[in-house]
Amino acid sequence: MEVFFDSLSLILSFDKDLYEIIFLSLRVSLVALLISTIIGLPIAGILASKNFLGKKLVLIFFNSMMALPPVFVGLVLYVFFSQSGFFGFMNILYTPIIMIIAQVIIILPIIISVSAELLENIFHEYKEFFDTFSVGTLRRVKTTLFDARFSLITCILTGLGRALSEVGAIIIVGGNIVHYTRVMTTTIALETSRGNLSLAIALGIILIFISIMLNYIVISIKNISKQNSYD
């Protein structure tokens, strides 16, 4: 039990190194989530509101990408952004930037696939109205996204949870460099192997707390959605 008390002591004492790791994790994941949301929601809206040749193949592609192994993402990015790689001149390997790129690749398919399925159900409710008044594609997408705004937040938070729990790709492209690219999941893996269980458990507790908060937010949003008839 002593190790748990030491972990709580680290958290409650606002240990500088501990919170540096936490804030870097949140910063990387939130930036990746923002980029993925800006890119993903319009794509999901188009997939939901427009029929075109190859639509099923596109949906299958994004659904398949949801199961893409993170370590493979990290490997591919490492090959392309290493000094001998095609994008080696950018010198972003082992930086927070490449970590954000890795997380975007991982969570973007999740946001697109889950959101597209949700938006398609809502779009069918308005399809007759859109067709009657000859509403353009852009207006259809905007209307569908707005009507689904509460439910979409749930999809977005799912992406955030996936980003925060990522370790495979991040440790390959980030290098787990202290005070620079060391995030919660990679630190847990490292400190556990070193036998420094206090720090590892402290970060685990923080991750569990964040997970509980995300679930609470999701449940609250679902209740708001039901109250406003956006279900």
Of the chain, the percentage scoring pLDDT greater than 90 comes to 54
- Tell me what the mean pLDDT of segment 36-64 comes to: 92
**Domains observed in the chain:** 2-225 (1.10.3720.10)
pTM comes to: 0.90
Q: What is the pLDDT at residue 140?
A: 85
Identity (one letter) of the amino acid at 116? A
DSSP codes of every residue in 151-198: HHHHHHHHHHHHHHT--HHHHHHHTT-TTTT--HHHHHHHHHHHT-HH
| Average per-residue pLDDT for the chain | 89
Q: What is the pLDDT at residue 50?
A: 85
Q: What is the pLDDT at residue 230?
A: 45
Task: Answer whether residue 77 shows pLDDT above 50.
Answer: yes
